[in-house]
Amino acid sequence: MHHIQRKILRQLMYAPSLNYAKIRPLGVESNHFAYHLDQLMREKLIVKDGRSYSLTDKGLMFVDRVSHETMNPRPQPHIVTSLYITNDRGQMVLHKHGFQPYLNLYGPPQGRVHYAEHIAEAAERELLEKSGLSGISLTHRGIVYIHATKPSADVSKILAHIFSGTVTGAPELTAARDGTAVWEDLALLTTGQCMPGFVEVQELLSTHIHSFFFAEIEALMV
């Protein structure tokens, strides 16, 4: 996005509407400014009403996701649902990641919440997409904020809504396009084979049987 367009949007972040003269940055020629104003209207980020300009709904969504200082998109934590599904054989549904940054690591079926979804809807969808399972009664058990790091860099920050559920037997699982779903005995896995925060969440689930939990987890990846 051109720096003049960013300046226009920044002006409109702090007022319900402004006229042409108020949003024109100092030192910008009128025809140059008018071109970029028109571009923002073509992109449906701003709208003209009479002699005033204001942010559209799309414009409001845009400015909510940028730095106020630079008007550039800023890194945001991922919001996901994580599904901890166990059976009467002592096994858990695990998803083996087929992509970075967690390639070949095991963790619960999980994925990002879509913008239009409620949290419970996202949980049911992710379970189906990652494992093929559906119709399982899911309980929202807690929320964890997982900060995964390497010795020299941040890897990811994830706000995970933790759900649990139980089934009888070992229903057939289907492979997801971005990994593989398996029934697994957790005793056979090492911590190094698991996603950051997985072991800590398991502990929270076992110690908060009847209470909703929240925790921040710092996880150093080997």
- Over the stretch 171-199, which tens digit does the pLDDT of each residue have? 999 988 788 999 999 999 998 999 999 99
Fold of 78-220: Nucleoside Triphosphate Pyrophosphohydrolase (3.90.79)
Identify which has the larger pLDDT, 63 or 169.
169
In the CATH scheme, what is the code of domain 3-63?
A: 1.10.10.10
**What's the CA gap between 104 and 95, in Å, rounded?**
9
Residue-level pLDDT at 62: 87
Average pLDDT over residues 216-220: 94
Q: State what percent of residues in the chain have pLDDT above 70.
A: 100
* Confidence label for 204 from pLDDT (cuts 50, 70 and 90): very high
Residue-level pLDDT at 138: 98
Local structure of 200: helix, strand or coil? helix
Give the domain ranges of the chain.
3-63, 78-220
* Structure confidence by residue, pLDDT tens digits, 79-127: 999 999 999 999 999 999 988 888 899 999 999 999 999 999 999 999 9
Q: Which amino acid is at 17?
A: S
Average pLDDT over residues 197-209: 96
* Confidence label for 25 from pLDDT (cuts 50, 70 and 90): confident
* Confidence label for 43 from pLDDT (cuts 50, 70 and 90): very high
Residue-level pLDDT at 101: 84
User: According to DSSP H, which parts of the chain are helical?
Assistant: 3-13, 20-23, 30-42, 57-63, 119-131, 198-207
Residue-level pLDDT at 170: 95
Q: Are strands 18-19 and 52-55 parallel, antiparallel or unpaired?
A: antiparallel
Q: For residue 72, what is the DSSP state?
A: S
* Confidence label for 44 from pLDDT (cuts 50, 70 and 90): very high
Using alpha carbons, list the distances in angstroms from residue 202 to 36, 38, 63, 142, 163.
53, 54, 38, 11, 11
Comparing CA positions, the residue from 13, 74, 2 lying closest to residue 40 is 2
Residue-level pLDDT at 64: 80
Residue-level pLDDT at 118: 97
**What's the CA gap between 151 and 165, in Å, rounded?**
35
